[in-house]
Structure 1
Amino acid sequence: MIISIRPQAFSVISFDLDDCLYDNRPIIAQAEAAMQQFLLQHYPRSTQWQLSDWRQLKMSLLAEQPALKHDTSLARLILLQHGLIALGYSAEEAKKGAKAGLEHFRFYRSNFSVSKEVIVLLTLLKQHYRLIAISNGNVDYQRIGLGDIFEFALSPGNGLKQKPAKDMFVHAAQKLGTPLSSILHVGDSAKSDVDGARKAGCQAVWLNPGFGAKEYAKAHQQLAHITLSDIQLLKCLIN
């Protein structure tokens, strides 16, 4: 544990989810593979495209509609719809397929459980602090075993921009009825989590390296109050 800035009193701990409480890489890979299999089975023209074609279309859509980066579910829905139209399906077929494909992806996106060790840690912390989640991803926190842990979870969309924008931090403070300075945010990203939390007026804990990662990352702009190499070290926050 490295303490760079002495933390002030806090009553809330907010957590990033992906790569902070679990290794998200194999989960996303599984969800992507399941969605591709769904497309191949129900929309066979998708065999004409490689993964690189979908990525190229995604980059084009984000360039044309930058706001999509702040809503991952909507971005994927529009990507699938545009892709299916480009492959020769009608607008009605593409709309139906995009909705079904997104639902298929989201099922596998949350088709896992957070480890028992992490649940035990969070349960212990909950005895002392209010716990919430602030994530740029679209995982269903209730399905993965965190429904009884967090008061609520925020993700981008519906007018809220993704981290490092301050939107979700400000919205969380409003929902909690507490000042931003009383929120201690824990995350693995120097830019999204540390910069985002600090710029919003929250305190920050940087998990470096992130869950499942081996290499240490470099700081971005803002300095984290505390840097941890193991999420279990959060037990030290309990007085």
Structure 2
Amino acid sequence: MIRFNRAITPVKVLSFDLDDTLYNNHPIIKAAVQAQIDYLNALPDWQAQGRHYWQHCRELAVKRSPALVDNVTQWRKDTLQLGLAKLGYQGAQLEQHVSGAYHAFADARSNIVVSDEVLSLLAQLAKKYQLIAITNGNVEVERFNLNGVFDLVLQAGLHGKAKPHPTMFDQACEQLNIEPKHILHIGDSLDTDVHGAHNAGCQSLWLNDQQARYAYRGLPDVEIASIHALKYFL
């Protein structure tokens, strides 16, 4: 299914969200969170705090530094630092466990295999368009089989505020020397992807396959039910 809500301006760049757009991120993030929990629960004093301790520390970290909402990687690291320090860890031991817990998460977080069908589709699209990625997530593209697919990868925190803020879209336009109207951003979220693209003056394509509820009521320029509907743009 492909639905056009507006006429499309000629597209030169296809911009992709990553998580839940090019692969199913739900089991991946679940495994990554569990890997971090397993690491931390091996520390008896952490485990003794109960299952709500992480969320308490997470909320405290962002209360102290509100800008963390735009950088999920730093938010996780700061939460680990705060939570472990509150338990009395300090110095080299503190850094050891912050690093150990984060890498337990990050290693599992990058345990992604994008399907051959999606990789083939991207390779075909790359013959006609520049491909870039704009993500709010903390996945490390160079660690799995999307490595080398995109001409540019922009991540919230590292390269600007999180979508729907237009910062990363603006940066993409500047780096590629292109007008926003020639970028079509493709993602699964109305709130971040479609809203963000519209805020930046880019075109939007919504992958409507998550059965989620969204606050944003703007219409995407294009709507599809499967990523493979992008074959239309070939």
Alignment TM-score > 0.5, same fold: yes
Report the residue type matching 1:14 in the other structure: S
C-alpha contact 2:159 2:168 (8 A) present in aligned 1:
no
**Secondary structure in structure 2 of the residue aligned to 1:51:** coil
C-alpha contact 1:17 1:134 (8 A) present in aligned 2:
yes
What is the aligned partner in structure 1 of residue 3 from structure 2? 2
What is the aligned partner in structure 1 of residue 231 from structure 2? 235
Separation of aligned partners in 2, 1:81 and 1:52? 16
**Secondary structure in structure 1 of the residue aligned to 2:144:** helix
Separation of aligned partners in 2, 1:15 and 1:124? 15
Runs of 4+ in structure 1 over 6 Å off: none
Q: How far 1:108 sits from its partner (Å)?
A: 1.0
C-alpha contact 1:85 1:91 (8 A) present in aligned 2:
no
Separation of aligned partners in 1, 2:179 and 2:3? 25
**Secondary structure in structure 2 of the residue aligned to 1:30:** helix
**Within 5 Å, which residues of 2 pair with 1:32-47?**
32-41=33-42, 43-47=43-47
Q: Which moved more, 1:25-34 or 1:137-146?
A: 137-146
**Within 5 Å, which residues of 2 pair with 1:18-97?**
18-41=19-42, 43-97=43-97
Separation of aligned partners in 2, 1:96 and 1:219? 41
Structure 1 residues 121 and 217, CA gap change in structure 2 (3 angstroms)? farther
**Secondary structure in structure 1 of the residue aligned to 2:52:** helix
Q: How far 1:148 sits from its partner (Å)?
A: 2.6
State TM-score, norm by structure 2. 0.94
In structure 1, runs of 5+ residues without a counterpart are: none
**Secondary structure in structure 2 of the residue aligned to 1:74:** helix
C-alpha contact 1:4 1:223 (8 A) present in aligned 2:
yes
Q: How far 1:218 sits from its partner (Å)?
A: 4.9
**Within 5 Å, which residues of 2 pair with 1:89-108?**
89-108=89-108
Separation of aligned partners in 2, 1:49 and 1:223? 45
**Within 5 Å, which residues of 2 pair with 1:1-239?**
1-41=2-42, 43-158=43-158, 160-209=160-209, 213=210, 215=211, 217-218=213-214, 220-238=216-234
1:113-170 CA deviation, whole Å, 9 max, x = no partner? Answer: 1111111111111111100100000111122211231112110124611100011101
Q: How far 1:74 sits from its partner (Å)?
A: 0.7
State TM-score, norm by structure 1. 0.92
Separation of aligned partners in 1, 2:192 and 2:84? 32
Report the residue type matching 1:12 in the other structure: V
Q: Quick one: percent identity of the two aligned structures?
A: 36
1:71-117 CA deviation, whole Å, 9 max, x = no partner? Answer: 11111011001111122322542233112221221111001211111
CA RMSD of aligned residues (A): 1.6
Structure 1 residues 86 and 157, CA gap change in structure 2 (3 angstroms)? same
C-alpha contact 1:195 1:220 (8 A) present in aligned 2:
yes
**Secondary structure in structure 1 of the residue aligned to 2:220:** coil
C-alpha contact 1:166 1:196 (8 A) present in aligned 2:
yes
